[in-house]
Structure 1
Amino acid sequence: MLADRVVLKGMFYGVGAGLCWGVIFLGPKLAPELSGAQFAILRFLCYGLICAVLLTPRWRIAYAALRREDWISLFWLSLIGNLLYYTLVGSGVQLAGVATTSLIVGLIPVLVALAGRNDDQAVPLRRLAPSLCCAGAGAALISLHTLQTGAAGQSAHIGPGLLCAFGALLTWSWFAVSNARRLNRMPGVSAYDWALLAGVMTGAQSLLLAIPLLGPEITHHDPQKWLSHLMVAGGVALLASLLGGALWNQASRLLPLALSGQVLVIETLAALLLGFVWEGHWPDAMQWSAIVLLVTGVVWCLRCHQARPQSG
């Protein structure tokens, strides 16, 4: 019973993180004048500044709890899981569209579940297979639908956009696995402090890239346009990076890796909903079928974990 409560609490945090992260796919659409890399840098500059302010009173405690290998992991997790991932997402959204990118990235749960199949408390792969197939079928169905209906007007961009989306899939799958395992090896560091430290690290990395990537664009847009870009990037940073990151770190500590990967389907659904609202139409029958498959995969996986035998 206690284990079930822990799983449900972890699911609550994971679903919250997924809902917050849904906005990351819409952000680049709201700033089409910026490339994926430029919008990523602007977002993480805002995120780094927010995290630096919040971390200031806790800096000594957080700093004392980290070892050298933790700082090295923090550097790579921030660079690959934040900057590189979101650069690829932003480029994919602008080149191939919100739906295509979000649904390819939506395959992350499949890769994460496969990566965690040998971890403690993980459900055997044969029991996870139906839910994985369900989620994978939903993602494949709606991806095929999006490609069929959208490729005609984007023939020059669809290829690079798909490469960016698949790159984002690989980078964040690696991040989800590595970040969860790093957190479990650092019992003295809170999930909240780790999220703030990652924000400061990513902000510092973005600052180094800001001049060569954003500098030439400063004179191309008027101050009002830059203010608009800054507000969009700041909103994404606050909601997705800060709140979503903190919720995800809590979920990573409470859920088996395979189940935490399944929860990421919520991010895909949130991104789809925002994308459909932004484009001003609702899903058709084929899209609804794919969404039902994705949700069924999540619920099915949750039941598998709740029903697993408990050790004394």
Structure 2
Amino acid sequence: MTAASSGRLWGVASGLGAGAMWGLVFLAPKFAPEASPLLLTAGRYLAYGLIAAVLIAPRWRRLAPLIEGRTWRALVWLSLAGNLVYFAFVVVAVHLAGVAASALIVGMVPVVVALWGLRDRSGPSLSRAAPPIVLAALAVALIGWRALSQGEAGAEGPTGAQALIGLVCAVGALASWSAYAVGNSRWMARLPEVSPHDWSLLTGVVTGGLALILAVPAVWTAQDWSGGQWLHLAGVCLGVALLASIIGNALWNQASRRLPLSMLGQMIVFETVFAFVYGYVWEGRGPALVEILAILMMIVSVIWCVRAHAPPRGAEEPPH
């Protein structure tokens, strides 16, 4: 196995791990249903910022000279797009449209990012990359058809207007995270001297600072809460911050550094797969036949995408 192939294998493994951590995000609103989207967003990212600040402090003297003004500005918009705005949209979408429909829409991120990555010189030709991208889109559409048809059949659930608002928020999350995935990959390529873990922690510090702005109006939405409710929320926020933000983001940054953008987009499929698995556990049921088929299609699309990025037989693989 060549060094480039080995790097891509580790990149895929990192993408899978990040998906396993990020899939938990869709359960956060279920663990704290009484918390407003604003409060849950502020709490999660304040916790992320605090943990990141503690972890980055010992390495700050080495990192500070590497971060210029434009890099800080990039970290601000990446923190907004990939964290605060994205998560707020997800929380509203899950509340109003449910886990399945929300994961469905956000599950289109691989298609958007992979298509964007085809513009890169390191990406494969459209004829090689299009089939796995189309397969991923079909899998997401299949899951969506199942989720929405089941939702319509249920006796309880959000009204049509509420579900529509939830779906619009899910589309907002899709756009926000797609912009983050592309921008984050570009900026990490410009700063090879900053490790993926340190980049994740820098993003966390900036995100925590931005979350302070949300703290006052967020707390106002829960003025009548008891001490027990605050402790429960703190536990949920710390858990999501540690697993999804600290560990998940570090794994994603590893994948971002090792994989070309058109291939990186497909790795986000794992978030959708794990979100559905966690949703099944939460609901105490197994996947339906249609859902099993869709998940298998997603996995095949990732494997197919990996093969599409392999050099033609007999060709020398360029260094990555």
Q: Indicate the TM-score class for this superposition, using the shorter chain for normalisation.
A: over 0.9
1:195 aligns with 2:196: no
**Counterpart position of 2:173:** 168
Cα distance in 2 for residues equivalent to 1:303 and 1:276: 30
In terms of mean alpha carbon deviation, does 300-309 or 49-58 score higher? Answer: 300-309
Deviation string, structure 1 residues 115-150 (Cα, Å, up to 9, x no partner): 111213211121111101111001001111111111
Amino acid in the other structure paired with 2:263: L
Q: When the two structures are aligned, how many residues end up with a matched partner?
A: 311
**Counterpart position of 1:159:** 164
Cα distance in 1 for residues equivalent to 2:14 and 2:294: 24
Q: TM-score, normalised to structure 1's length?
A: 0.97
1:17 aligns with 2:21: no
Alignment of 1:8-157 (within 5 A): 8-152=9-153, 153-156=157-160, 157=162
Alignment of 1:279-290 (within 5 A): 279-290=283-294
Cα distance in 1 for residues equivalent to 2:39 and 2:90: 12
Contact 1:37-1:91 at 8 Å conserved across structures? no
Q: 1:208 aligns with which of 196, 208, 213?
A: 213
**Counterpart position of 2:267:** 263
**Counterpart position of 1:273:** 277
1:235 aligns with 2:236: no
Contact 2:39-2:221 at 8 Å conserved across structures? no
Amino acid in the other structure paired with 1:204: G
Cα distance in 2 for residues equivalent to 1:179 and 1:311: 23
Cα distance in 2 for residues equivalent to 1:124 and 1:49: 43
Secondary structure of the 1:59 match is helix
Cα distance in 2 for residues equivalent to 1:220 and 1:306: 58
Cα distance in 2 for residues equivalent to 1:172 and 1:18: 14
Instruction: Measure how far apart 1:216 and its partner are.
Output: 3.9
Secondary structure of the 2:240 match is helix
Contact 2:45-2:207 at 8 Å conserved across structures? yes
1:221 aligns with 2:225: yes
Cα distance in 2 for residues equivalent to 1:311 and 1:203: 39
Cα distance in 1 for residues equivalent to 2:19 and 2:269: 7
What is the identity percentage for the equivalent residue pairs of Structure 1 and Structure 2? 45
Amino acid in the other structure paired with 2:83: N
**Counterpart position of 2:300:** 296
Cα distance in 2 for residues equivalent to 1:76 and 1:311: 33
Amino acid in the other structure paired with 2:239: G
Deviation string, structure 1 residues 220-241 (Cα, Å, up to 9, x no partner): 2111011111101110000000
Give the root-mean-square deviation of aligned CA atoms. 1.3
Instruction: Measure how far apart 1:154 and its partner are.
Output: 2.1
Instruction: Measure how far apart 1:296 and its partner are.
Output: 1.3
Instruction: Measure how far apart 1:193 and its partner are.
Output: 1.2
